[in-house]
Each structure stands twice: as structure tokens, then as C-alpha cells.
Amino acid sequence: MGYEPQADFGTPAVTSDTTVTVSIDGRMVSVPAGTTVMRAAALSGGAIPKLCATDMVQQFGSCRLCLVEIDGMRGTPASCTTLVNDGMVVHTETARLQKLRRGVMELYISDHPLDCLTCSANNDCELQDMAANVGLRDVRYGYEGENHLGAAPDTSNPYFDFDPSKCIVCSRCVRACEEVQGTFALTISGRGFESKVSAGLASDDFLSSECVSCGACVSACPTATLNEKAVVAIGKPERSVITTCAYCGVGCTFRAEMRGEQVVRMVPWKDGKANRGHSCVKGRFAWGYARHQDRVTKPMIRAHIQDPWREVSWEEALAYTASEIKRITATHGNNALGGIVSSRCTNEEGFLVQKLVRAGFGTNNVDTCARVCHSPTGYGLKNTFGTSAGTQDFDSVEASDVIMVIGANPTDGHPVFASRMKKRLRQGAKLIVIDPRRTDIVRSPHVEADYHLPLTPGTNVAVLTAIAHVIVTEGLADEAFVRARCDIDEYRDWADFVSDVRHSPEFLAPVTGVDAETLRGAARLFATGGNGAIYYGLGVTEHAQGSSTVMAIANLAMATGNVGRRGVGVNPLRGQNNVQGACDMGSFPHELSGYRHVSDPAARALFEAEWGVPIDPEPGLRIPNMLDAATDGLFKALYIQGEDIVQSDPDTRHVVAGLSAMECVIVQDIFLNETANYAHVFLPGSTFLEKSGTFTNAERRIQPVRKVMEPLNGYEDWQVTQEMARALGLDWNYTHASEIMDEVARLTPTFAGVSFARLDAEGSLQWPVNEAYPDGAPIMHVDGFVRGKGKFVVTEYVPTDERTGPRYPLLLTTGRILSQYNVGAQTRRTDNVIWHQEDVLEIHPSDAENRGLRDGDWVRLASRAGETTLRAHLTDRVAPGVVYTTFHHPTTQANVITTDNSDWATNCPEYKVTAVQVTPSNGPSAWQEHYDAHAGLSRRIMAEEPAE
Amino acid sequence: MSVDAHGLDVHTVDTGAKLVRMVNQIAQHLVHDKDPVNAVADHVHAFWSARMKQQLFARGSDGLDPIALAAVQRLASGAHLEPRRGATDAEDTGCDAG
């Protein structure tokens, strides 16, 4: 595909039940009532010249270039602000209009550099196009008058430049920042000739301003004023490929705009149904890791983890791996082996890893990192609704009246969806936030939570039960919905339970730390405020009561009738790009793809017939259980694709002990990650830009991942797994990832109608896609719950075992920030480090004062599991008694602190509650010193022997 | 006491004790089920590997809460538990990540 800019219809699409037909330069076009003349013209195939208009934002009517003549209407109205009427006759190219437009362009060009040939936007500039469009040949005013041509550029942002000398002050960037991103970082300062785009205060540049580098302003800019540095350095793209972002669970789709094998820029795809043309700093800009010098592209092996690595051929690496797997199987049995596949990998990769483990290793010991994030979502929503996935599509938020955010920080973790949520909030929807921290969504420009319940970490169930108490005892439940859709006896049991006075907000306030009257207000609002939607994140799931909290959320949604239509629902915000897909693909040790339990003989028979091997009817080991078995000497070999469990999983010392006890750890990754320090085989992986496949986002939306450049290691990841299978004697012969999806579709009822061909044709599909739902299901449980009757589950609040005391008097909770992603393996290798160079410990000023700590001091953070050191940041975003940090940097190793406590149902770790002590420190902990020493030894790569 | 790759004392884990803690946790959370003993047994049957179950049985009754103990005894006696049935037809979209 050659390079073409994305179509821009000038003003946003509107919806209407009424269609009107107009004539534009003699072309008849029918459009929804409320459409602008400009958009109608573009849809009819005859775009009207424009500069200040773009369909990203609402019409503005400032540039006066889009003037038209309309029969029966006086003057020359702006087509961007004039709505069509039925029977309207529009003329867009008359002599009068041409003269007017040429005059407008003359004024613009009189204060614009005439350096088109050397400009980074040459041939990709709307101003240049418009000058050509109106036939501008001369500027009568000359260029000598007062102008802005000497204005200094702002190059502070690592990804894009702002060159005010080229700015036409169309305000598209300002409006994009406001309307699309919702940050309000940009404004027009000054008036008249002094007007200029300004980021933040007069003393600010882009980097120091509130700008979050989402790139919306850069996409909106019609000139080279805001332009990607990569475009400046590389030049205009020559082709583009639509693909899906590999960061969070929003699943933004992008146009990878390329020159040869080089990515020039990633531009959010306007037709993407998850992101609707928007992006965040990670997906838009932080893709440079793909060609980072740390990429390892040759396979390596070694006998012991203290040895240096030895680069070998693929053949030798695979033969060694297969021989080790066979040796360990013969010596210790099939159940001494296992595999872990990351939720960052594609569906096809996940499916193949679990197939390799089940059919090649002969065990169900396979798990995915969804274990440590959203496994409680699966358990909780399966029990209550019958399906683990979120109930809505992202578009649904546009119809929400009350939005409840629990244990999620969407502006940092899921920023593109957060922008859509904030847009709805600016339109008047109400907001309830349940979070120990005052996250940005609690208060940001033009958004303020109606209720913020700053609960004590670990008390989610108590808070949700108290909310339910208010709803039931004050007669606010939607009993008609419950009677029609849910098991009424179970509802009554639940209603009796929550009505008990011991679940009242007043009784529970000392436990939850939440003011009773505030909680009552929030409960009343949610029950009576119209369409109520609940969005939640890892602050719900990563607790000892994670599964109970998910079920308490489901109870609340059912009790208030907020399931089964647009604007409502229960929406888990998935952490990684393919958490949903990894779960769908059978990556759990007790389930085959499509959530069929391994003990189900009918399900096993399907797979056994397709694969030609028997499948163990007993569940396998989950990740924590594998590590326990390893320290017990019973688990000896682990194949890990794309996951860095040493950094991401809790209780690092236990993870390291488990890995160190194994005889063969095989790591497949793009970098020598922390886990590779304990590996015996390293198989180089490929980035999302280098392979084909699919990701499934938090909406159950299956989207294509397309190879935009050749893999640096020579193989896509699924091909490496296939080669390993072949080395073990399995006769696998996939020639393309699409054939893996074909097998998934054959074996998985919910994917029966999915194929690469359909995804190419339709862009994306939301499962289930089968005979019952041939086009997928944007919203689930519309006519009834998947399980039949919705199930109310009594969720007793059980305090976590992790409690504060004299030795560890503070509670640590962990999370992430906007610019870094998960363990940071990707984002730390981009310019995103400019915003976050290290993990810091947020601590309330009063707790800091009690310990003699100042902002920026090094502190020792200790729990019963271990200790580390990092810098303190004093802030009242956290309540007294609570401290917070991120886990993006291996030098910090925040998970040395977290414990082996886990969710009762799923073993999802309790990352969010750890009792800790914070004290002044003047150096790294003993663990950090020893870890660094081992990492230094373990990362050595043996020098190649000189040629004879 | 043994040392790990870093020369630090290995914090040894008593996996059996951990399994007891886990099954007690399950029992604590399924106490409101109509048949909590069966619910606990079914949960362990569905989500624990055979070796984990055997390790738990080998621990005896020490430290088990009454519901957990009854569930463990039921499992150890080889009581028949129905296989978990899932989405084997196109109508069923059930899923589960336990």
C-alpha cells in the first residue's frame, strides 16, 4: 500500500434518524440531519478547501477558507459551521469564492516561511495543499512587514517539535488537546497579531507544561508547526500498514507509517473502533525500543546461570533445548516441566505455547501473566454472569450517566479510554472514584469526582458491601430487573446479608476509613443517577479478596439493573494488550481454549482428535505453584515467552529461588530481561512490529497485528515455538499465523467465526463470533445472562492477613504511571524515561516528618518479604499510613517487598497491600547489591573466537 | 541453611503449610455457600494439580479449619466429583480464570 494521508471529512460525523439530501456542485448526497455542508461535500467526493477544520474536533469557523454559496442564502457562509437542509443547493467553486479564498491564503502565506522544499512537511502539508488548491501565485503584501518568521522553535519534547514560525493559529492543536485528550495543556495566548499557541504558562515549554504527549495536537496540525522529530529526521513516509498497539488493554489501532523497513511514525487510525483516532504517549511515540541496541537477535545457551552466554545457531539452540526437555522428562516426569506465555504475546503465540506444553511436554502446567493481574475477573464474572469478559464496548461510555471507577487509574494506565471517559464527564456524567490515592481522574481540568472514597487498602469488599447496604436498605434496588433477570432466591439471601447493620457504612467506617455520609451519597447516586457503569482495574483484583470484589461489583451492577444495555455494565480495564486473549486461548492450567475445563471429556476429545495426543484431565500448576514446586525440587524446566517474572511477580526472592532450582529455564524475549539472569537458553523474540497475529482488547475486540518490518532475529515468535515443537518431534507445519487462528476457530466455539480474512474485511470482531452471534457482540447479556439467571454471591469481608503492626506500620500499594509500561522493558528503552527515570516512593508528609524524611531522600523500604531502597516523594495524594510506588525499574525491584499472599480463588498476588516500614537509607540493600553482582555475571556474552 | 544464587540465605518455603493456608482461605470465602464442604472440595478439584492435592492430603488435619478439613477428607476419600463442563457448544460463552 502506498502512502496516503487518512481521509479528513472536515467535521465530525453525526448520527440522526433523519436523512437529508442536498446538491453540492450538482452532486446529490444524502447525509444524516445535522451534518455540515463541509462534511457532506467531502462525502460526496468534492472536498472544500479548509484549514481550521478537521474531523477530529468540532467546527470552529475561523479560517474563512471553506466559504460556499448556497441558493437562497445571502453571502458566503462557512461550510464548516453551516448545517445541510433537505433540498439545499450548494456551490463550492465559483469565481467569487475563488477570489475570496485566494485573498485568505495570501494573508496566511504573507506570514509563513517560504521554505517548502526543505520543510519537514513538504508534500504532507495542508497549507501547501490549500495554496495550490486556490491557485495562489503571488502575495501582494510582500514579506517585509511585521511577522513571526523569527519565532524560536520549542524542541523540548523528545518526540515532536513546535515551530511557531510556521503556525497559522488555527487552534486545531488547542482544540484537540481539549476535546480529544481532555488535558487542556494548550491555549492561544495574546490577541490579534500577538496570538500564539502556548503550552502551559508563559514560562513553560512543551516539556514542562501539563502536556501528556498524546500526539493529538501533532495529528491535528495542518502545517509543520507541530511535527514528529522522526519525520524531520527520516522524511515523509512512503507506505502505511494498519496494526494494533502492543501496550495496554485499550488496544488502539495505528497506521505504522514506514520508509522501507524503518518506522517513521505511528499515527492513530481514525477508523479504529477501540481508540477512535486517539493515542497516548506510549503507543504514539514509544516504539523505538524495537531497534534498540539492547535487542538480542542470536540464540544463546549455557550450562549454568553463572556462566557467560554462548551465541549459537538456531539449530544448536533448538537441539539443545529439545535434548534438555527430553532429559528432564525422562528423569523427573512430564509434570516437572511447564510454560508461561505473556499476555503481551499474540493470540496465536499464546495458543501455540499452551499447545506445546500440553501436546509436547505432556502436562497442563501452563499459565499466563493474567494470573497476576485479572484472573479474579475471570473467576468472579464467570460465577455471577457466566462469562469472564467485560460486558461493554468502549463506545458505551458515551451513554453513561454515572461512572464508578474502582481501583483503576485510567489516565495513567488506560489513557486513551480515560480521554473518552473524561469527555463524557465534561458532558455532565457523574463520577464516583473508589481508590486509596487521589488519582488524576479525581480532579483534573473540567473533571471532578462527585465522590471520592479514599479507602484503606484491602477493604474493597467492605466498601462495596456498605454501598449495597445503602441501596438495599433505602429501597433503591431495581427489583424489577432482579426479578426478571436474576435468581431471586439468591438475591434475597444476598439482600438479607448486606442489610445487616454490621454492613452499614457507619459500622464499617473504622475499617474502611471512608466517611459514612460520603459513602451513602455515592451509593444513592449510583443507584438513582441513570445509566451506571463500573470500570475497575488491578486495585480490585490484586488483593486477597480480588475474586470476592469482582463478584461484589457484579452484585452491585445487577442490583441496580445496570447490565445488558449501552451506558452500563461491568468493565475490567485489562492491564496488558492481550490479557483477554491470553485467557481465551487456553493459557490457564485448568482450561483449554474457550474456557473448557480439562476435566471435561468432551472438550478434551476435540483437542485430542485435532492434536493426536492425550490430554491430562487434571489441572496443571499455576505460576506461583510452579515456583513452589521448584523450590521443593519437583519442577525442573520452564519455557517463558515474553514474560519477566523476576521483575513482575511478587516476592522476588522466592521467584529467584524457584528459577535457581530449575535445570533448564528457556527465556524467549526481545531483551535479556531480569528472568534471563536465571536462564539456560535464550531465544530471541520479535516485537509486535515484526510479526503477524491478533490481540484481543478489554472489549473482547479481536484486532489484527500486522508485520510492518522483518523480524531482526529472522523469525516471528510463533515460528520459534513451532521450531521447538518440531525439535521435540511434533509435526507442526503452520506457514502463517492465520492458520493458527483457523485452528483456534475449529476448536473454540466463541471464535468459530473468526478468521484473518474476516478481520481484514471488518477491521475487528468482538467475540463471541459464531452462529448465535455472527457479527460478534459489542454488549453482552442483552436479553439474559450467559449463565441463565444472574447469580448474586454473598461476599463476606475478610481482612487480609497482611496487617500493619509496630514492625511494619505502613501499607504499601503499587501501580503504574502514564509514561512507563509494566516492567518497563520497552518504555525504559525509549525517550519516555525523560518523564520517569526511577521508581519513587510516595509518602504522606506527616509520615515523612515522623521519620525525618525530606523530599528526594533515599529511603529503605522493608516488608517481611525483603527490602529495597528508593527515593521518597512527599505528597498528599496518598493518605497518612499509605505509601505507593511503581515497579517499572529493575534497579528498584519493588517486588522484593511484595509477599506471597494471594487471592483466595485464583492465587492472583496481593500486590496492593503489603505492610512495610520506611526508614532513612544511605545505600542499596544487601539484596540489591547481590542482585546487581549476579546480573553483571549472568549477562556476560562470551566473545566469539577469532577466525583462523 | 542453604544460600541462593546471591549468597543470601534462601527463605525456604513450607509448601505444605502454604497449601493449608490456601485451602483455609478458600473455606473462609465459601462459608456462605449452601454446601460449603462440597464447594471447597469442588474448587480444589477444579483448580489444583494432582500433586498439590496429594501434598495437602499428606499433611493430615493439622491446621485445617473444619470446613476445609471436611472438604479435604472428601477429596482424599476419592469421592466422585463431576467434571467441570464448559463451552462445548456454540451457545455457551462461559469462561473462567480460577
pLDDT, one tens digit per residue, over B47-59 is 999 999 999 999 9
CA distance A348 to A585: 8
| Mean of per-residue pLDDT scores for chain A | 95
What phi and psi values does residue A876 have, to the nearest 5 degrees?
-90, 10
Amino acid letter, residue A754: V
Intra-chain end-to-end CA distance of chain B, in Å = 35
Verify cis geometry, omega within 30 degrees of 0, for the bond prior to A619: no
pLDDT value at residue A709: 95
> What percent of the residues of chain B are helix, what percent strand, and what percent coil, each to the nearest 5?
50, 0, 50
Residue B9 DSSP class: B
pTM of structure: 0.95
Q: Does A375 touch chain B (CB under 8 A)?
A: yes
Q: Closest approach of chain B CAs to the CA of A173, in angstroms?
A: 43
Residues of B in contact with A379 (CB under 8 A): 96-98
CA distance A221 to A160: 12
The residue among B11, B22, B29, B42 with the most chain A CBs within 10 A of its CB, best to mutate, is B29
Q: Band of the pLDDT at B84, cuts 50, 70, 90?
A: low
| Mean of per-residue pLDDT scores for chain B | 80
Amino acid letter, residue A198: S
For chains A and B, what is the number of CB pairs under 8 angstroms? Answer: 182
Q: Which of residues 34-73 of B touch A (CB under 8 A)?
A: 43, 45-52
Q: Does A900 touch chain B (CB under 8 A)?
A: yes
Cβ atoms A379, B96 nearer than 8 A = yes
User: What does the block give as the cell for A453?
Assistant: 472514597
Taking the CB of residue A205, how many other CB atoms lie within 10 A of it?
Answer: 15
Cβ atoms A691, A737 nearer than 8 A = yes
pLDDT value at residue B13: 79
Q: Does A907 touch chain B (CB under 8 A)?
A: yes
Query: What ipTM score was computed for the predicted complex, to two decimals?
Result: 0.91
H helical segments located in A711-818? 717-727, 737-747, 756-762
Query: Which distant-in-sequence residues (6+ apart) come within 8 Å of A649 by Cβ?
Result: A372, A623, A624, A655, A895, A909
- Determine whether A867 is exposed, middle or buried from the number of CB atoms within 10 Å of its CB (0-12, 13-18, 19+): buried
CA distance A358 to A341: 13
Task: Give CA A111 to chain center in angstroms.
Answer: 42
SS3 A259: strand
Residues of A in contact with B18 (CB under 8 A): 628, 900
Give the tens place of pLDDT for each residue, A448-457. 999 999 999 9
Q: Does B22 touch chain A (CB under 8 A)?
A: yes
Q: Which of A551, A529, A563, A496 is nearest to A425 (CA)?
A: A529
Q: Band of the pLDDT at B10, cuts 50, 70, 90?
A: low
CA distance A540 to A534: 12
Q: Band of the pLDDT at B79, cuts 50, 70, 90?
A: confident
User: What does the block give as the cell for A258?
Assistant: 514506514
Strands A858-862 and A765-766 come out as unpaired
pLDDT value at residue B78: 83
Considering only CB atoms, B95 lies closest to which of A388, A660, A905, namely A388
Q: DSSP characters for A329-355?
A: HHHH-GGGEEEEE-TTS-HHHHHHHHH
Residues of A in contact with B32 (CB under 8 A): 493, 497, 794, 796
SS3 A741: helix
CB contact under 8 A, B83 and A600: yes
User: What count of Cα atoms within 13 Å lies in the side-chain half-sphere of residue A518?
Assistant: 17
Where chain A has pLDDT below 70, the residues are 1, 944-948
Amino acid letter, residue B75: L
Beta strand extents in A39-128 (DSSP E only) = 69-70, 89-91
Closest-CA residue of A relative to B5 is A660
Residues of A in contact with B8 (CB under 8 A): 653, 926-927, 930
Give the tens place of pLDDT for each residue, A498-543. 999 999 999 999 999 999 999 999 999 999 999 999 999 999 999 9
Using CA atoms, how far residue A351 sits from A179, A345, A378, A483, in Å, is: 40, 10, 18, 40
A258: which strand partners?
A239, A263
pLDDT value at residue B92: 41
pLDDT value at residue B6: 53
Strands A402-406 and A532-536 come out as parallel
CA distance A145 to A169: 18
Residues of A in contact with B28 (CB under 8 A): 796, 798, 904
